Amino acid sequence: AQTVTQSQPEMSVQEAETVTLSCTYDTSESDYYLFWYKQPPSRQMILVIRQEAYKQQNATENRFSVNFQKAAKSFSLKISDSQLGDAAMYFCAYRPYSDRYNNNDMRFGAGTRLTVKP
Amino acid sequence: DGGITQSPKYLFRKEGQNVTLSCEQNLNHDAMYWYRQDPGQGLRLIYYSQIVNDFQKGDIAEGYSVSREKKESFPLTVTSAQKNPTAFYLCASSIDPRTGSAFFGQGTRLTVV
């Protein structure tokens, strides 16, 4: 089964600074999708950014960007100009791209708690 | 408004009792998922369903059961066989599991008393 690893249980960043959250994954698939989700104290899961493995260009959404290294199976999230509202749990997630009927599950890492200091 | 609705938000269960968590979506999504969230362990997949009348076990299906009789609904039953059911449960749906990201409900906090 595919696994997703987030090696940083907690991170902190000064407001307006940049922080990078790490994620690695293990898969034998060649085509898949990777996601970063944010979970604020309300516990509502919010999609931050999405990357398709077949695309070489790294995804960007405003202040959020990823560094996708397919060979290294690495998918880090960079948050620029950090804001107080960015404080949350961040989860990395993986989903295979497959036509097989029973291979459509979505796997999450253990999460990184981000604190933003004013 | 379209979305995913989980109910109830908080649920208390006595030991030895079965309890059912509701998950309804009006997004016309095919795939639906149930996850369990414990502190320090992220989200773990319990069950998922790609279409009506079919579902697959995830990593921690023991002690849980599901049904998918309607596209809109994917209830999760926590049975008495689940030895440590106290947790936060999240339901999600996705229009196409090969291309779409998942949309989540607001969760149900289950506590065994």
pLDDT along chain A (118 residues), means of 10: 88 98 93 93 91 91 96 97 97 79 74 96
pLDDT class for B97, splitting at 50, 70, 90?
Answer: low
Residue A56: the pLDDT is 86
Residue A105: the pLDDT is 76
CA distance A114 to chain B (A): 14
Q: Do A45 and B33 touch (CB under 8 A)?
A: no
Q: Do B98 and A97 touch (CB under 8 A)?
A: yes
CA distance B62 to chain A (A): 17
Q: Do A110 and B56 touch (CB under 8 A)?
A: no
Three-class SS of chain B: CCCEEEECCEEEECCCCCEEEEEEECCCCCEEEEEEEECCCEEEEEEEECCCCCCEECCCCCCEEECCCECCECCEEECCCCCCCCEEEEEEEECCCCCCCCEECCCEEEEEC
Q: Do A105 and B90 touch (CB under 8 A)?
A: no
Q: What is the pLDDT of residues B31-65, one digit of tens each?
A: 899 999 998 778 999 999 988 999 999 989 999 99
CA distance A3 to chain B (A): 11
